[in-house]
Structure 1
Amino acid sequence: MILGLLALLGCQLVGEVLVRLLDLPVPGPVIGMVVLLVLLAWRRPAPEAPVLRAADGLLAHLQLLFIPAGVGVVAYLTVLRQEAVPIVVAMLGSWLAGLVVVGGLLQLAARRRPGRGDR
């Protein structure tokens, strides 16, 4: 499991280095996840591979990773209270935009692929 954690952290480190070198406006861990995705798609590890075991171990305790976010919300509660309207508008706007995009893509996919009764 240590080798798997080292592989995951190595991908994150590569992502951080790429972000710093290329001055990308994306967080390093996101680029690291893309690097990990490419490596996993390329290598196709076995189900008992260390990186998959480490990922399963982290997913089993995923709820613990939300504790820092909860502490951050409590720590900035006064700021959140003062900026509640813009935050709610941004959240609803992004939700609506996502809903429209996914609905549009679903409509497009439904038009391109005939249903079972359309044949």
Structure 2
Amino acid sequence: MILHLAVILGFQLLGELAVRGLGLAIPGPVVGMALLLTLFLLIPRAAEAIRPTAQGLLAHLSLLFVPAGVGVVGHLDTLGSAGLPVLIAIVFSTVLTIAVAALVFVGVARLAGGAADE
């Protein structure tokens, strides 16, 4: 399990190094995840070996949101003064995300020859 965690974090580090070294405007963990996916596609045994550790991390994913909650509580005064713009940004981005996801779904369904174009 420790080795698998080291592999996951190592790919995150590789992603960070690539982003900073190349000056990309993509988050390093996203690049690291793409590199890890490439490894999994090239060596399927690696995906099967890391699966239990990844599922364990996903099962406890809610624990990773505790620092974000503490940050919000720690900055309630700032949130109080900028609450309306934050609320507008959250609502707008949520609606935009749902709309884009729906359009992508319809587009993929049409490409796949599904019944979404009826």
TM-score category by the smaller chain? Answer: 0.7 to 0.9
Decide which structure has greater helix share.
Answer: 2
Gaps of 5+ in 1: none
User: Which runs of structure 1 show a deviation greater than 3 angstroms over 4 or more consecutive aligned residues?
Assistant: 106-112
| Conserved 8 A contact 1:12-1:33 | yes
Q: TM-score, normalised by structure 2?
A: 0.82
* Residue 3 to residue 34, structure 1, CA distance change in 2 (3 Å): same
Q: How many equivalent pairs are there?
A: 115
| Conserved 8 A contact 1:4-1:53 | no
Q: TM-score, normalised by structure 1?
A: 0.82
Number of the residue aligned with 2:92 = 93
Answer 1 or 2: higher relative contact order, Cα 8 Å, separation at least 6.
1
Number of the residue aligned with 2:83 = 84
CA RMSD of the aligned region, Å? 2.1
**Percent identical across equivalent pairs?**
44
Cα distance between partner residues in 1 of 2:13 and 2:74: 28
Gaps of 5+ in 2: none
Cα distance between partner residues in 1 of 2:100 and 2:68: 28
* Residue 48 to residue 36, structure 1, CA distance change in 2 (3 Å): closer
* Residue 17 to residue 46, structure 1, CA distance change in 2 (3 Å): closer
